[in-house]
Amino acid sequence: MDPGNPVLVQMIRDTIRRQGPVPFVWFMEQALYHPEHGYYSSGRCAIGRRGDYFTSVSAGPLFGQMMAAQFAEIWEKLGRPNDFAIVEQGAHHGEFATDVLEALRAQKPEIFAALRYRIVEPFEVLRRRQQGVLRAFAKKTEWCRALDELEPFCGIHFSNELLDAMPVHLLVARGEPGARSWQERFVERTSDGFAFVDRPITNERLRERLATILPAPLGNYETEISLAVLDWIEILAKKLRRGVALLADYGLTRAAYYSPTRTTGTLQCYAEHRVLPSPLENVGAGDITTHVEWTSLAERAENSGLTIAGFTDQHHFLSGLLASHSHLVSAWVEKSRALQILLHPELLGTKFQFLALEKGSDPGAPLSGFKFARDSRQALGLE
């Protein structure tokens, strides 16, 4: 068993020694986002064929080129504002931003002249890498450390595989029929590592969210709840003055997420394209992720003043863009392998979903990415 980053492991063990077992949500936050030694904050995270996992950006510039067409359409829909911002959160090394800006400069010079590209990035090591990759666009790009530090803006907020890495509470249901109860998973230290222990739920917000889940079925049952995602969408709703938030990630509706048959939840850990046996191993050296529970996210977005503008899988989203923007067809012919990766149902096509949330814009016709989508509220399980 590889314990992971020894400095981070010792820091967590020392915290447990002083305070007792810690909630998994805190453990996951340290493993991924500890300011110096976390998987993301240290710069250890690597994507692509030689990295730990594969994303749409890994397929090459085609994904950014296609998204640039959708961004330009949103600019038109907003009335061509001259204070237009594209805000990206979870920008990794800046490859997607580069692809978008290059495509807009070449294909849509009017929007390129009007926009500012802002990256929300809390970690200095990643900001430096992004600034290096985006050196050619230094006059167009800006950075801030946190979403709540961002000035309210008109434009687009885009994220790709951001929400799945937000820390989650792990919950378990144990006991016999008639005496079953929920408990929260904590992390305890052992002689050579870490182990899970279950404790009564004392977090009142967590108790309230449990009311949205159907009673756990008979037998042992484990699942996750992300309070961080709900907090995040509330902040974003306040920052988006007018425009569209476009979220790309992998997830499930609430009914599917908390299905009686999903008895072990969605938590997974990756390193070098391998699924690791436990999130308590390779601490700080591997990715920890869960699926997004889209229904609760959409509900909180609506309660925060946003309107659902579309929801569909990546296959249908990108197909809609191809059907609506003729200049993308030539890119398809030239880069058919990349498009196959993005669209194919057995690759990324149905693994990822896109959710669009609007504020202050005329609903009108749906965005091209949702041209082939079915009713979004119904698909999200809201009706």
Residue 37 lies in a domain: no
Residue 42 lies in a domain: no
Give the integer Cα–Cα distance in Å for 348 and 371.
19
Find the CATH number of the domain harbouring 231. Answer: 3.40.50.12710
Question: Two tokens at 61?
Answer: 């510039």
Residue 360 lies in a domain: yes
Count structural domains, the chain: 1
Residue 275 lies in a domain: no
Q: In this structure, which amino acid lies at residue 192?
A: D
Please state the pTM of the whole predicted model: 0.93
Task: Give rounded-to-5 percent helix, strand, coil for the chain.
Answer: 40, 25, 35
Q: In this structure, which amino acid lies at residue 251?
A: G
Per-residue pLDDT, 270: 83
Residue 114 lies in a domain: yes
Residue 265 lies in a domain: no
125, exposed or middle or buried, with CB in 10 Å at 0-12, 13-18, 19+?
Answer: middle
In the chain (383 residues long), the average pLDDT of successive 10-residue segments reads 83 97 98 93 65 64 93 96 97 94 97 98 94 97 97 97 97 74 94 94 93 74 96 98 97 94 92 81 91 97 97 92 79 60 60 94 84 93 88
For residue 246, give its domain range. 56-166+227-250+291-379
pLDDT, tens digit, 9 for 90 and up, residues 215-261: 666 678 999 999 999 999 999 999 999 999 999 999 999 999 999 88
Cβ atoms of 234 and 300 within 8 Å: the answer is yes
User: Do you know the residue count of the chain?
Assistant: 383
Pairing of the two strands 141-144 and 115-120:
parallel
pLDDT, tens digit, 9 for 90 and up, residues 280-295: 998 988 899 999 999 9
Per-residue pLDDT, 74: 97
Per-residue pLDDT, 337: 61
Residue 128 lies in a domain: yes
Region class of 265: left (phi > 0), else alpha (psi between -120 and 50), else beta: left
Cβ atoms of 275 and 269 within 8 Å: the answer is yes
Give the integer Cα–Cα distance in Å for 99 and 342.
16
Give the integer Cα–Cα distance in Å for 158 and 213.
29
Residue 203 lies in a domain: no
Give the integer Cα–Cα distance in Å for 120 and 90.
7
